Structure 1
Amino acid sequence: MAPHKPFRVPAILGLCNPLLDISAYVENDLLEKYKLEPNNVILAGEEHKELCSELVKNYTIDYTAGGSAQNVMRVAAGILKSQKVDCRVMFTGGVGKDEFGDLMAKKAQADGVETHYMITDSTPTGTCAVLLTEGGKNRSLCAFLGASQKFSHEHLVKNWDILVRDTDIIYISGFLLAITLETFVRLGKHVVECSSANKTLCFNLSAPYVSEVFGDRLIEVMPYFDIVFGNDTEAQAYARLRKFPDPGDIVDVAKRIASEPTLRNTPRIVVITQGEKPIIVAQKIPKPDVQGEIEDVSMKQIPCKQILESELVDTNGAGDAFAGGFLSQYIQNASIEKCVEVGSYAAREIIKQSGIVLPDFSEIASDKV
């Protein structure tokens, strides 16, 4: 008799720049002082060097373990736990050997995420100033990348068996393009070579500046991605990069992203959120009995439930929560509609709280999302 093959627990890995969020409710005057926009994400420049100290000195601060993909993993882990689904949820990125790095690890692990940080001695853990205005309806993020910029491709290779070899879903934030192109290419080639192993490589457009500043790198790696997430402004920035005819037509942009050439036969899925407007899902439809050829692109516009204005506390992290909710169901082979439904639910629950603090996701267990 052949030896019993142990049951393999499904696994999700997130990669990006982990940052400690320094969050505060502020006046619009502070945004104007630092030339920040109400709903945007930028890298800090010389003109922003006093921003965090001013926040700490003059405002009430919430500290949260953050970074886009780390938040996605935290939400996915929280929902999977609420559904009593056994799944390894992992995260890797660069941090400093300091109190902030230790704090992030403790918080992420408490939320059910395995942290496999690359720890740097000489550079402090990165931070992100989160400026909330209009009672939390708008948020401006200004990132001081710190040790997150020290993440190296060698760390991933060294921990390949733990992080990648048996992992089903790999989720990468566009922010990581600023640090390592090699990691994207290595992971992309791995997923292509393992096409029979049902692996999925996911990417988030993350912020308009990713397309604007790192466009050449983005174009190089896009053919590897099976699922592409983004919001409407991020999709428009990518559309301008690719010179699509009408960047303002988000439905057309999603269709064109889904139609772009990929290195796998599996149909690419594109998911674009638009705030309160319906979520757009575009997916290639393979031709029957013709391997590798595409017949058309399926387009769906899925309405999302609204919350009362009085319930809205902080919009920061809504997109990350959506992606986390989506992947928590995708790993269970749920329908796209169910993935979007749970993603929307997670986003609604997150924005009812200050900071990206996980709720108990109690409605998941009762299937009333």
Structure 2
Amino acid sequence: MAESPRFQPSASLDVVGIGNAIVDVLVQTQDSFLEQHGLAKGGMALIDEQQAETLYQSSGPGLETSGGSVANTMVGIAQLGGRTGFIGRVRDDQLGSIFSHDIRAVGARFDTPPATSGATTARCLIYVTPDAERTMCTFLGASTQLEPQDLDLSMVKETKVLYLEGYLWDSPAAKRAFIAAAEACRKAGGQVALSLSDGFCVDRHRESFLDLVNGHVDVLFANEAEIKSLYETDDFDTALERVRGCCSVIAITRAGEGSVVLNGDQRWDIGIFNLGSLVDTTGAGDLYAGGFLHAYTQGESLERCGELGALCAGQIVTQLGARSQVCLKELRSQHLG
């Protein structure tokens, strides 16, 4: 049985996340739309502001909500009853106002002041086809302007876990902020969690990520493709053996095959929760991390952490978007007691 994590008793927040502050625009569409616009189905492409505007104008009606991988995770934790904060950069524009209001409305603390110049607020156009596959086109905009001086280090020092997304590594400025925050959190007695975010992101920054994983991260989240990419292997078990022991806790999601949680020599294979028809896989990994980190910061067993993560992921794929339309706290009571 793994020991429960020890956190500083003065922590006023459970998890603080630093990530790209993005407004998600979810659109249900057909494969023909993807073909018409040359979009690779199931992928994530970075686009410029002009491309974002062209695609936005060509799209049908969409659901607009605050998004970004880590922001989705913070919202999930808040919905479970956890105390969360988010740090990310928006512009003083309409989408920036949508993001700020939306994330605060669910109870997450968000104090980063909006930028008054530079790129507009980031947005991610998410096209969901009838098979529930999502294709993402992301304009990172103002989110890449996050600098170390933008950090509320008091918030970072008050949290049990600081959660960071690998996407930040694409921006040198955000990368500097990432490192400064991790150092401040560790010095205050907190733990650092990292999501590898995306297989292409791993390909771009493999050496940096390997350095982070080897001794600088306490809790690592990845999916099967990302962990195999990190260690440049096509064999899942080989990747698991390579990563085992690099971090205190490792959680790897495997879509329909559930997830694997590692702690030293221990391994837990966690099944999935089939709660309804598959509608949209957007946010499944984010909500898995949310459920996992909520249980983790409450000192629950790693097996229960994986189960709560799987439950939250199982719920989010039955609806459109990464904001649960049912009460996650009640869902947990129904399925996990």
1:332 maps onto 2:295 in alignment: no
Which residue, out of 231, 241, 255, partners 1:255? 241
User: 1:215: which partner in 2?
Assistant: 206
User: 1:44: which partner in 2?
Assistant: 47
Partner amino acid, structure 2, of 1:252 = T
Aligned partners of 1:213, 1:155: CA distance in 2, in Å? 25
Structure 1 residues 189 and 55: CA distance shift in structure 2, 3 A: closer
Partner amino acid, structure 1, of 2:107 = G
Aligned partners of 2:268, 2:243: CA distance in 1, in Å? 14
Aligned partners of 1:256, 1:42: CA distance in 2, in Å? 29
Aligned partners of 1:7, 1:175: CA distance in 2, in Å? 30
- Given that residues 254 and 281 in structure 1 are in contact (C-alpha distance below 8 angstroms), is that contact kept between their aligned partners in structure 2? no
User: 1:127: which partner in 2?
Assistant: 123
User: Which of the pair has more CA radius of gyration?
Assistant: 1
User: 2:222: which partner in 1?
Assistant: 230
Aligned partners of 2:22, 2:294: CA distance in 1, in Å? 23
Partner amino acid, structure 1, of 2:269 = Q
TM-score normalized by the length of structure 2: 0.89
What runs of 5+ residues in structure 2 fail to find an aligned partner?
1-8
What runs of 5+ residues in structure 1 fail to find an aligned partner?
1-5, 81-86, 241-246, 261-266, 285-296
- Given that residues 230 and 271 in structure 1 are in contact (C-alpha distance below 8 angstroms), is that contact kept between their aligned partners in structure 2? yes
Structure 1 residues 39 and 167: CA distance shift in structure 2, 3 A: same
1:31 maps onto 2:11 in alignment: no
How much does 1:71 deviate? Answer: 0.4
Aligned partners of 1:189, 1:22: CA distance in 2, in Å? 34
* Runs of 4+, deviation exceeding 6 Å: none
User: 2:145: which partner in 1?
Assistant: 150
User: 1:167: which partner in 2?
Assistant: 159
Aligned partners of 1:360, 1:269: CA distance in 2, in Å? 27
Structure 1 residues 104 and 184: CA distance shift in structure 2, 3 A: closer
User: 2:5: which partner in 1?
Assistant: none
User: 1:293: which partner in 2?
Assistant: none
- Given that residues 96 and 124 in structure 1 are in contact (C-alpha distance below 8 angstroms), is that contact kept between their aligned partners in structure 2? yes
RMSD, aligned α-carbons: 2.2
User: 2:271: which partner in 1?
Assistant: 303
The farther-off stretch of 209-218 and 329-338 is 209-218
Which residue, out of 273, 276, 281, partners 1:315? 281
- Given that residues 26 and 127 in structure 2 are in contact (C-alpha distance below 8 angstroms), is that contact kept between their aligned partners in structure 1? yes
After superposition, give the CA deviation of every residue in 1:181-221 in whole Å (9 maximum; x if it has no partner): 32333234334444xx3x22000000012111223432343
1:185 maps onto 2:185 in alignment: no
1:269 maps onto 2:269 in alignment: no
How much does 1:10 deviate? Answer: 3.8
How much does 1:334 deviate? Answer: 0.5
User: 2:110: which partner in 1?
Assistant: 115
TM-score normalized by the length of structure 1: 0.81
Structure 1 residues 227 and 103: CA distance shift in structure 2, 3 A: same
User: 2:62: which partner in 1?
Assistant: 61
The farther-off stretch of 247-256 and 267-276 is 247-256
After TM superposition, list the pairs within 5 Å mapping 1:282-301 onto structure 2. Answer: 282-284=262-264, 297-301=265-269
After superposition, give the CA deviation of every residue in 1:212-237 in whole Å (9 maximum; x if it has no partner): 12234323433310111011111122
Structure 1 residues 312 and 59: CA distance shift in structure 2, 3 A: same
Aligned partners of 1:343, 1:215: CA distance in 2, in Å? 26
Partner amino acid, structure 2, of 1:204 = S
Aligned partners of 2:236, 2:106: CA distance in 1, in Å? 34
Structure 1 residues 215 and 110: CA distance shift in structure 2, 3 A: same
Q: Indicate the SS of the match to 1:106.
A: helix
Percent identity between the two aligned chains: 24
Partner amino acid, structure 1, of 2:149 = E
How much does 1:102 deviate? Answer: 1.0
Aligned partners of 1:212, 1:313: CA distance in 2, in Å? 29
Aligned partners of 1:24, 1:218: CA distance in 2, in Å? 32
